[in-house]
Amino acid sequence: MNTRSLLILSVIALTLVLYLAFSGLDKPGSKQLQEMRQQLFVFNADLINHMEVSGIEETVLLERGDQSQWSMEKPEQYPADRARIDRVLTELEFARRVATIELEQFENPQETLRQFGLAEPRVELKFRDDEHAYHLKIGNETARKGNYYAQIKATAKSEVIVVSQEIKSLIDTEMDSWRSKRIFDFDTTSVTAVRLKNGGADVELINEENQWMIARPYSGTTEPTTVISYLGGMLAARIDSFAPGGSVQLPEYGLNTPQVSLEIVIGDQSETLNIGNALESQNNLFYAQVSSKNAVFQLRSELVDQVKGLLQRVREKRILTQEMNEISSLEIQNNGSGWSVAKHAENWHFASDNKQAESETIQTFYTALSEVKGVDFFEKSDQNRDEFKLNSPEWSMLFTAVTNEVNDSEEKKNREIRISVAQDGFRYVESDYSEFLIKVPADSFPLFPPSRLSWSVRKLELPRADTWQSIAWDVGEATLKIARTGSGQWQNKWNGREIDQSFLKRQIDLLGKLEIIERVEVDPASVTDGLVLNIIADDQEFELQLSQPDNRFCVIVLNGDPEGYFVNEQDYQLLAVFPLAHSSRASE
């Protein structure tokens, strides 16, 4: 082969390679073509806007409207089940045929179609978008159980195929399966009122500037988020089944005079759910209807109870609704004795002597009390107060709330809570925060403080150690006193003996964070047999009397205060040692 022939062959080969490469860029490969041939249809489910399902008895016509909402137009108008329609279209979009039958191979194609059940199909589905139409007929079952003869048509092309049982079951369903099982369809944030008629009892809730209030049967507040939760429950509620028959016989179902009516109001529009009689055959099912729809359906008794329980669900059940940051003082009484605390800046102090109270303990108690909820409600009457022993309560609490008015002046509001003794596992509460006497499980209350000691600060109220000017130990006749020098350092020697600075720092640190076991009432005159520490700070004197340890504890009294402290014996032993080099017990 000469050079010229080689050159010609090379050009031909290169041309062929380039042709194959570029001509095949926009065409599917053989595997992709094979998969496309196995598909029932090639379409975009998001574009389908019309569906028609025909069975032996009826035809269901479905249309997609604004905002992709589907509705049933035939055999009657009703919202369609969008989730079901989306599932059908999605599965059809990816559905595969089991086999393809060449109809031309049969001697009489029309007779073959009849034998396949495709002349009068079991079920037919027509669907389309704005440009294309698709048609699926499903006929008889094939000799291989679980497969069915089918005929598909997209544009002008028609094929006879075999499909699986799953494809048939997907569309061969009753009309009710295409209807939406949702009862309501609204935006909870747009609801302006909720009205319930339950026998002779009327309940009305009104949304006032995003705050839900009870307008009937009394004026009051609702528990936060409960109305939204109730409305969310109504949105999630589903119809159990539809009543049989095409005609609506309201008297037959008890819907001409419904037992229960729930109206959801959105602006100047509303939707009402009416609930009628229970089914004679099943007492746990009730007939119901929504005002804008003709169909009668059935609801389970659990959902009916949920609808009827509106007031119980949303009413304020808490005995205390004031936020703690709005409280300026709290007075507590227990069988005639009590104490009060008031807030100064961020800390609580006892009103009687201005001693600091344990703010965290008060916060914990208040938070737990504000979470207590009632289980039953009674009229505020003298008879009920007497019956529930609220005329002589075991506990009473008076809260003072300070609110700033428009003119920036402070207004004080007192609110009282009275709590009865426990009776058969319950306590009864009369609260200024509620329009009713409230029955509360006794074990839902926090532990009540038995005395003011429970709220007393559980630490020695000493000044900061860097302000101390001197500290002295006194154990009987043994005494030691050391002071700071002009440079601010503790003196190095006492009576010629060296001060152990490290041990002294340890003792001072201990006094700053001493672990208090318990606050106790004590007679300061009785604490005489132990150690006395005298601390001078900012020209003020602080005297600590420590008793001899007893049963691993000792008592500390600060400045003769009748409220003392229990501390561990080990802490006493550490404090009772003189901070001298090679020192032994202070008593020595």
Which tens digits make up the pLDDT trace of 182-195?
999 999 999 999 99
List of long-range contacts for 206-209, beta carbons under 8 Å, 24+ apart: none
Band of residue 565 on the pLDDT scale cut at 50, 70, 90: very high
DSSP code of residue 486? T
φ and ψ at residue 444, rounded to 5 degrees? -90, -10
Which pair of structure tokens corresponds to residue 158?
A: 């028609």
CB 462 within 8 A of CB 360: no
Q: Which range is most confident: 290-294, 454-458, 480-484?
A: 480-484
Residue 574 pLDDT greater than 60, yes or no = yes
Whether the pLDDT of residue 333 is over 70: the answer is yes
Q: How far apart are CA 73 and CA 77, in angstroms?
A: 5
Q: For residue 33, name the pLDDT band (cuts at 50, 70, 90).
A: low
Please tell me the distance from the alpha carbon of residue 127 to that of residue 41, in angstroms, as a whole number.
11
Give the pLDDT band (50/70/90) at residue 7.
Answer: very low
Give the pTM. Answer: 0.70
Cα angle 203-209-214, degrees, rounded to a multiple of 5: 20
pLDDT winner (highest mean) among 96-105, 277-286, 303-312: 303-312
Angle 24-29-34 from CA coordinates, rounded to 5°: 145
Q: Is the pLDDT of residue 67 over 90?
A: no
Q: How far apart are CA 134 and CA 453, in angstroms?
A: 83
Residues 142, 122 contacting (CB under 8 angstroms) = no
State residue 34 phi and psi, 5-degree precision: -65, -40
The whole-angstrom separation of Cα 259 and Cα 264 is 17
Rounded distance between C-alpha atoms, residue 112 and residue 139, angstroms: 12
Give mean pLDDT, residues 112-141: 93
- Distance CA(115)–CA(143), nearest Å, equals 12
pLDDT of residue 15: 39
Contact in structure between 330 and 214 (CB atoms under 8 Å) = no
Size of the chain in residues: 588
State which H helix or E strand residue 34 sits in. Answer: helix 30-38
Secondary structure of residue 425 in the 3-state scheme: coil
What pLDDT shows up at residue 583?
64
User: What does the DSSP 8-state code read for residue 200?
Assistant: T
Q: Which residues contact 103 (CB under 8 A, 6 or more apart)?
A: 109, 112, 113, 160
pLDDT at 582 over 80: no
CA proximity to 212, closest of 236, 194, 196? 194
Question: Quick one: what percent of the chain has pLDDT higher than 70?
Answer: 90
Rounded distance between C-alpha atoms, residue 315 and residue 375, angstroms: 11
